[in-house]
Structure 1
């Protein structure tokens, strides 16, 4: 059972047990007649013969109507590659309330839209002092949504329980303080189940350091997911695999020798070596062209973005 205040989803493989659960609830509480899952907390569920599609079409259309962007001309990417946004680009907004409210609404879309994660994360870095350029970037993101309102995550039948992840970092990509952006996306079989785009604390002294810290953050999330899946009775296939496109970081994860140039890295990042040495985790090198987490670390061109967004699992809703 998934419970949020007075909304409950009851699911499982045993129809008899599900019915027993519903009967037990009905004996103690006043509940509505059970029905198939269609809508839950702003997320629409469309069932087909091959699986379940999750999207937030109604939420997106309501947001576009509220911001007067329903008839806006669509664009192909959520954020322009250039010029890079910075704290000082543009003129400071006299009333930042609309910027903050709209961006807060956009954050909720990350539940079904990993393709929005980087743009939303980047724009959140200007919440304290948004400018006209930042507001234009928010409007571009809304224009992207105007062209992709039915996009979401498709959960296919017959999925396997192999847990693997893609980890990436954009070293020194922040034009204000040269901070790095960490991005990861974690799959259970072919389904994306967790993703993040976040600015790393501090300045990494090399691309290897940035990527190594990113892999460590990904490993931490993977470890937590393993614990959660275990509680849910889902057996995960071992070893777990994290794909990284930096050779130095991949080597560092498996090297038990504490490298002299990495002494300044916080000790807590080195827990990944224990996971690798115990055989529960493998960090594997992958080509940059196949690094799916790339879409979570930087703005991409139209061709690259369309290629990666489809590969990470963002698809159009199937016909009703």
Structure 2
């Protein structure tokens, strides 16, 4: 689904028309999404397809593969409210008390602790449903990733943690992604890792989030495949995974005819990992991660990505590697520009205020960072603002 989110983000920036068809024949069955900057060309394309296939014109994009799409002149919003309510209803928790976070702070789950469930089928079905919800909900991605590791033999603490995720979803079932039309077409990524996080295997967790401008289009939380001996090794592997995803998105943009002329920015909070990525000389201590070093270094030398340091409290990928407390969690989710379009004036007053204060030009980033009364939701690009300010300061000196 990353390709769909990237396409929606580009459509918002460039003002492309989005249309939907339902095709049903021996070879194709399902929805077809059409994006184009020429409405007349879209209509001609539909006529051509109608001559070849049995299809139904569904008009402007509104509902696609369980994803609800709403559009205004300034934003495209993507959510799964209907599906979320169905999941809550099926679990019998539609009237439950809501929780502020999807997982308790620093919760440690083990595959050997707790009573084993007699019927694991309910847990497995629930995990499958929650996994589909992560398409538009980066805020539950870590929790769902963690709980999916216990599918073979789920236990009571795992089911309790899954119900906690549902309680969190009950608070804002309509929350989802927002793709702004006023942002710049520039890839920015944040990568992080939690060293030896798994108590059963001592493997580490990788997390990354990738933006086009200030629109979140890709993210992941995943346990690494091997045990790492050092923090720098773990962090660098996370950078390599994020770099591969950046390269894939760049190829996709090229395939749909979109030029990305700037270097993609990769933000990290570990100086050792950044040093390895920018140092052209391999040392003995980095030979065990030599392949990952080449992955990142080659793209740095090719001017595909540029490595930047970010403060730990501004590391947006942190919520994809561990369970955070409420203050940290709410701070990071607000910076990911998630939006609940079902709240009053969500697309009007809220977004109008947001777009007024945080234009994504370099000048307004500096102005926005100096605004004292700016709410947390308005500080989406704090690390990028800081990077720009440091660059200006160094030039002046």
Query: Which category describes the TM-score, using the shorter chain as reference length?
Result: over 0.9
Q: How far apart are residue 263 of structure 1 and its match?
A: 1.7
**Alpha carbons 2:106, 2:322 under 8 Å: kept:** no
Aligned to 2:79: 55
SS at structure 2 position matched to 1:68: coil
Aligned to 1:150: 174
Q: Which has the higher contact order (CA 8 A, sep 6+)?
A: 1
Q: How far apart are residue 8 of structure 1 and its match?
A: 1.5
- Compared CA separation, residues 200 and 24, structure 1 to 2 (3 A): same
CA displacement, residues 164-217 of structure 1 (integer Å, 9 cap, x when unaligned):
100000111112222110000011111111110000111111111111000001
Q: How far apart are residue 254 of structure 1 and its match?
A: 0.8
Aligned to 2:16: none
Aligned to 1:95: 119
Aligned to 2:141: 117
Q: 1:192 aligns with which of 191, 206, 216?
A: 216
- Alignment gaps of 5+ in structure 1: none
Aligned to 1:225: 249
More helix per residue: 2
SS at structure 2 position matched to 1:212: helix
Aligned to 1:35: 59
Q: Distance in 2 between matches of 1:25 and 1:271?
A: 42
SS at structure 2 position matched to 1:299: coil
- Compared CA separation, residues 202 and 303, structure 1 to 2 (3 A): same
Q: 2:41 aligns with which of 17, 23, 30?
A: 17
Moved more, 138-147 or 257-266: 257-266
SS at structure 2 position matched to 1:32: strand
Q: Distance in 1 between matches of 2:204 and 2:108?
A: 14
SS at structure 2 position matched to 1:11: strand
Q: Distance in 2 between matches of 1:45 and 1:278?
A: 37
Q: RMSD in angstroms over aligned alpha carbons?
A: 1.7
Aligned to 1:302: 326
1:172-191 equivalent positions in 2, closer than 5 A: 172-191=196-215
Aligned to 1:242: 266
**Alpha carbons 1:163, 1:237 under 8 Å: kept:** no
Residue 312, structure 1, aligned to residue 336, structure 2: yes
Q: Distance in 2 between matches of 1:187 and 1:2?
A: 25
- Compared CA separation, residues 8 and 50, structure 1 to 2 (3 A): same
Q: 2:162 aligns with which of 126, 134, 138?
A: 138
Q: How far apart are residue 69 of structure 1 and its match?
A: 0.7
CA displacement, residues 53-102 of structure 1 (integer Å, 9 cap, x when unaligned):
11000000011111101001000100111441111221111111110110
Aligned to 2:390: none
Moved more, 172-181 or 141-150: 172-181
1:219-298 equivalent positions in 2, closer than 5 A: 219-265=243-289, 267-298=291-322
CA displacement, residues 106-139 of structure 1 (integer Å, 9 cap, x when unaligned):
0001111111110111001111111000000000
- Alignment gaps of 5+ in structure 2: 1-18, 22-27, 346-397
- Compared CA separation, residues 268 and 285, structure 1 to 2 (3 A): closer
